Amino acid sequence: MDWGGESVARRLAKLRREAQREWQRILKARRGGDGGGPRDWRPVAAALLQGALRVLVIIALPFVVLVRGALFFYEHGHVPTWLALLVAGPLTVGLVTVYASRLSRALTGRNRALLLGKWVALPLVVFYCGYSLLYLSRVNAKPEVRAYYTSVHPLLRLALSTWILVDPDIVVTDMRRAREDYPRLRLPVNETSLHYRQADGWVHAVDLRTAGRGGLRNFLVRAYFWAMGFDTLRHVGTADHLHVELR
């Protein structure tokens, strides 16, 4: 097959050589002409930063779809908690399937979206949801606090477990309370506390330790829960802590 007098392979080879020459010219210009002058690393640093941010977004996006998506449907769709999860879950499965199929295409040249969705994305999302909803490590809470973990609202548990992936040293200091706990803690009784069991049977708030963690880490924790759609309040009760609750 000819393309304007040249074979396709010859034409592609010529285009490849031209692209390589152009790339070498750009690199030479960035390095100061003949390479003897000082190099400007700012374009390289900007490219590395852009690449790192792109990777971060790719990794974080499935968790955002799962957690923020479920909370969005719960709050604005006025649907039950489990229905919100059943909507956000398949969306996350679809996104993970896209990731897996693109990786498969890049490595093998084959697009196996249905197979990867069934045997990779779906089990991965189901396992992660089950793990997040049922398990809290002893590193992240004392035994008397961990005992109440499954009484916390599922969407709050999902958000908390997701953050633990990033910040494995975070400690939950309180979850469920009863009215008689306030006098014992020498605090005035809060009749509207979301640490009580609410009408849906779940506790809607948790407290996170802030002492000894540094201002930046505490800021990032608060920014994360705010971005995911939760309300946060830094206050001092029995100790300085971050209060996180469903809106």
Per-residue pLDDT 10s for the chain (247 aa) are 444 445 656 766 676 777 777 777 776 766 654 444 455 677 878 888 888 888 899 999 999 999 999 999 999 988 999 999 999 999 999 999 999 999 888 888 888 888 989 999 999 999 999 999 999 999 999 888 999 999 999 999 999 999 999 999 999 998 987 777 666 666 766 777 898 899 999 999 999 999 888 889 999 999 999 999 999 998 765 578 899 999 8
Report pTM. Answer: 0.78
Residue-wise pLDDT tens digits, 152-179: 999 999 999 999 999 999 999 989 877 7
Q: Are 200 and 206 in contact (CB under 8 A)?
A: no
Q: Which residue type sits at 213?
A: R
- The residues facing 236 across adjacent strands are 240
Tokens of 120: 């990779």
C-alpha–C-alpha distance, residues 34 and 41, integer Å? 16
How many Å apart are CA 206 and CA 75, to the nearest integer? 19
Give the helix, strand, coil percentages of the chain, each rounded to 5. Answer: 60, 10, 30
pLDDT tens string 123-161: 999 999 999 999 999 999 988 899 999 999 999 999 999
The structure tokens listed for 171 are 């400690």
